[in-house]
């Protein structure tokens, strides 16, 4: 059964423009649904806790040894195990000792994941991206995309797939205002300003 949904307009979409459809109509069946968490597999819990807790201010809500693996659930400091089901912004980390020799690949690493690409990055909004980057560097983490740069090679897309098409300036303007660092397992973590400047503003 096909219906017209104004919240999902058909393409093609013009390059360099935000398409902002009207809000999806409310649905009693899904009114309480929320995106709750993302899950990543990790190699070294101590390194991952240092990155996500010390650098980004999350805290460990609980640790659960499932036998073959251990789960570390992280979230904002006001989250407790009792409030997990209604919380947002949670990160579930799986440490699987049997995976010690297995290569985990970022969804942006096309060269090392020929079987398929999926997950791209985790995004955190921060009040000041430059200060947040200073914090990441202080803790010894690699900045893979600094502020004020917008190179296609930093966008997690294989250049050969672009077929001579150029990324539009509107996207590059936003991209210059954000940064990326890598966590201990090579996952990309995006730092986004709480307010993105429109073109022509600074």
Could you report the per-residue pLDDT of 137-171, keeping only the tens digit for each? 999 999 999 999 999 888 877 666 666 778 888 88
Q: Which domains does the chain have, with CATH numbers?
A: 34-102 (3.10.180.10), 116-202 (3.10.180.10)
Q: How far apart are CA 150 and CA 148, in angstroms?
A: 7
In DSSP terms, 60 is beta-bridged to 74
Spatial distance between the Cα atoms of 17 and 11, rounded to a whole number of angstroms: 12
Please, which pLDDT band fits residue 98 given cuts at 50, 70 and 90?
confident
Higher pLDDT, 30 or 74: 74
DSSP strands (E only) in 117-194: 121-126, 143-145, 179-182, 188-193
- The percent of residues in the chain predicted with pLDDT above 70, rounded, is 90
pLDDT at 1 over 50: no
Q: What is the largest CA-CA distance in the chain?
A: 55
User: Residue range 104-122: average pLDDT?
Assistant: 70
Confidence at residue 200, expressed as pLDDT on a 0 to 100 scale = 76
């Amino acid at each position: 059964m096909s219906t017209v949904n104004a919240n999902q307009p058909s393409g093609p979409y013009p390059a360099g423009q935000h398409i902002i459809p009207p809000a999806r109509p409310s649905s009693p069946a899904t009114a309480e649904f929320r995106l709750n968490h993302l899950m990543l597999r990790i190699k070294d819990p101590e390194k991952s806790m240092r990155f996500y807790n010390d650098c980004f201010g999350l805290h460990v809500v609980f640790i659960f040894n499932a036998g073959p693996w251990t789960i570390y659930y992280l979230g904002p400091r006001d989250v407790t195990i009792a409030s997990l089901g209604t919380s947002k912004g949670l990160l579930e980390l799986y440490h699987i000792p049997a995976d010690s020799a297995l290569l985990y690949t970022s969804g942006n690493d096309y060269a090392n994941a020929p079987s398929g690409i999926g997950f791209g990055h985790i995004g955190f909004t921060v009040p000041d991206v430059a200060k947040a980057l200073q914090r990441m560097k202080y803790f010894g983490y690699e900045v893979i995309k600094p502020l004020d740069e917008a190179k296609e090679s930093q966008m997690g897309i294989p250049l050969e797939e672009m077929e001579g098409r150029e990324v539009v300036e509107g996207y590059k303007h936003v991209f210059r205002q954000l940064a990326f660092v890598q966590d201990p397992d090579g996952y990309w973590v995006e730092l986004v300003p709480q307010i993105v400047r429109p073109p022509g503003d600074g």
